[in-house]
Chains A and B, each alone.
Chain A
Amino acid sequence: MIESITGGYLNAELAGVILLLIGLYGLIINRDLIKQVISINVLSTGVFLFFTSLGHVSGGNVPLIMNTDMVDPLPATLMLTTLVIDVAETALALALILRMREDEE
């Protein structure tokens, strides 16, 4: 169904780059701090999608020892680590926003 909309031109890498650009755009136009954090999260999702799709092998198997012809598991594993960083930084940004608002009141 998605292919019928995109005409087969959109693959996961390209979708990732588009998300990244949307995130960057959001960061430039939004004045609200929470919206900025959300924009950065959209950007990071784009990067994750891009990176994870790098390991894709069309028709590839699940990466288990007994399988041959499998997809590359490394990008997905690396993105797990980066996701953790993403969560930590988002939490930190939100905490800082709360503190700043408290200080202003």
Chain B
Amino acid sequence: MVPLMAVFPLLCAFLVSLSNIFRLSERYIKASFLVGIFSPWSIFILNMSDHPVETVLGGWSRIAGIEVAIGSLNYQLILVELIVFSLVGVYSLSYFEDNKKEGPVRGKQMFTLILLLYGGIMGCFLTRDLLNFLVYSEIASIASIILVACSNEKGAKRASYRYLMLFFLSSFLLIFSIGIIYVKTGSLNFYLISQNLVMSREIKVAITLAFVAFITKAGIFPLHYWLPDAHSKADAPVSALLSGLTVKVPVFGMLLFLVYTDIEFLTLPLMIVAFSSILFSIVMAILQKNVKKILAYSTVSQMGFILLAIATLNAAAAANYAFAHALFKSGLFLGIGVLITRYGTKDIDELSCKNDNLLMLSIIIFTLAIGGVSPLIGAFGKQGILSGLSGFGVYLFYIGSIGTLIYFINLNYSLFNLKSLGKQYRSIEGMITFIVAILTIAFGIYYYPKLKPLDLILIGAAFLAFLILKYLHIFEKKVPRIFSKDVEGLGGEINLYAAIFVFFNISFLIYVLH
């Protein structure tokens, strides 16, 4: 019964697109959208008491069939997907209602794509089969690429093309590595792969190529270049889904490799990539004026933290932090989305949440959670990552945490800077953001009911650093543009990115094979 969790949304996506074709009334479309969003809950609740659940489709043996499972590895990811999609589903009903600006594809058509994304991500999280994982992740990524392209924002199509080309490239490298794994182990099922695994050179090459593909898809520095534009140009609910959940799909792929194969030979390069991703994106986030770009770079940096957990071979910490990140990052995108619609700009200096107390509170909670302040949800995941580090790594980790707090203090400072207009705003979107904020606290207290005095020192250090940077006018600096804005410039960009991708692959392979 478990696979139905992925089937329901896909089926409802089909129904929504059919009702569009037959021009049925909007009520039917919205109803089938909501059925698609909420129906997977029923199966999840039915199976909640007796997990782990492991079934092979059609009752075949593992050799012939596709295995799906809910267990300790994916339980949290599935739970957070259900929560985020339910809330974003309701949010997008009113968001696309209000935004009736005409574009090529709007409103009702977006619902089909959101459901396809839902089914694709759910299928990825459930499966224990390598090729099945790939196919579902392609469904999810194609849906998200079209969702980005559907935004009315200028440059959205350009961002979407870049997104597509990088995904296209990394997918084929992933298929190539799947081929090597199949020929060496004779199976695509992860359990059977782990049974037949002999760590030969070929298998090491295959796992390395797969990891580079996952790093690209997860948007981790230095293969992150598609992410900031794609996540910042999309509509608010779409950004929330992309930053919250789509980037977790490759993370789950890495987790499967971590649990079922041996990736110890990759520990050092993964750790270097993780730390450089964390620190690089902090610098980039500090230099941004566009509020959604700050959040997008923050995703690059947070994915670095998740990769760090994987590099320290700690699957539980990676899953916990992915859970936490999905919750607070989607909440932040939803909250900021409300402000952007209200003020009609993305410039951090022109936005304010002084007229909306609930939203103000929610954004403060999210930013503290991202900084890893206890007892919010981020603290639990960060504690798990920290336990695997030693020596110099611990210092870098704290620098990363302080850096994260710096650019979010800057964000909060700018949001409170404007004068209050007197009138208080209330909206459904704001309420939904507040629900996510409450969940951030509730899960935080449930998983990690402790208070760490060290957090106060971190916040203090971040505030001090913020004041110094403010005094030095660092926040006013801009990142220079390298490529021109026309199609020609885009071609050059793709050339450069493909070259970096190849270079990255080669350097990983040289490290593994030397």
Contact = CB atoms under 8 A, between A and B. Distances in A.
Co-complex (A, B): yes
B157 A99 contact: yes
Contacts of B502: 24, 28
Interface string A17-30: 00010001001111
Interface of B: 104, 131, 134-135, 138, 142, 145-146, 149, 157-158, 160-161, 164-165, 167-169, 171-172, 175-176, 178-179, 182-183, 188, 486-488, 490-492, 494-495, 498-499, 502
A75 B164 contact: no
A28 B104 CA distance: 31
Given A54-B183, A89-B142, A27 B158 contact: no
Contacts of A3: none
- For B165, B486, B490, the residue with the greatest tally of chain A CB atoms inside 10 Å of its CB is B165
Contacts of A24: 498, 502
B135 A85 contact: yes
Contact of A44 (B135, B172, B486): B172
Contacts of A101: 487
Contacts, number: 97
Contacts of B188: 78
**Interface class of chain B by DSSP:** helix
Nearest to B104: A99
A29 B498 CA distance: 9
A-B complex: 10 closest residue pairs judged by Cβ atoms? A31-B491, A27-B498, A51-B179, A96-B161, A85-B138, A54-B183, A47-B172, A28-B499, A28-B498, A100-B157
A81 B182 contact: no
B495 A54 contact: no
Given A27-B169, A40-B172, A47-B176, 15 more contacts: A20-B176, A30-B495, A31-B495, A33-B494, A36-B491, A44-B172, A50-B179, A54-B183, A75-B179, A85-B142, A88-B142, A93-B165, A96-B160, A100-B490, A103-B157
A54 B179 contact: yes
Given A29-B495, A30-B495, A32-B491, A81 B131 contact: yes
A38 B495 CA distance: 14
Contact of A47 (B145, B149, B157, B179): B179
B168 A40 contact: yes
